[in-house]
Amino acid sequence: METMYSNGTRASSISGAAWVKAHASDATNNCVEIARVTEGQVALRNSRFPDGPALVFTRAEMIAFIAGAGAGEFDAMTV
């Protein structure tokens, strides 16, 4: 049976996670990283805190987020 992870799981404790960050990361590599953690889940973590908590999302949740980001729905959220 596949392990299901929950939000707040320590990122470093997610077995076999291969964390990926965007090539657009800044010069100090501060970025949000993503990893597939199960067949139906991905996790996000802050690269500055690799041992910190991860947010875990389903495939459907990520598809909805990526579609919204691509449509510019979150453009006002950047700092």
The pLDDT tens digits for 4-57 are 888 898 998 898 899 998 887 776 767 889 999 988 899 999 988 889 999 999
pLDDT at res. 26: 73
d(CA 29, CA 49): 12
- Say if pTM beats, i.e. exceeds, 0.95: no
| Structure token digits, residue 1 | 């049976």
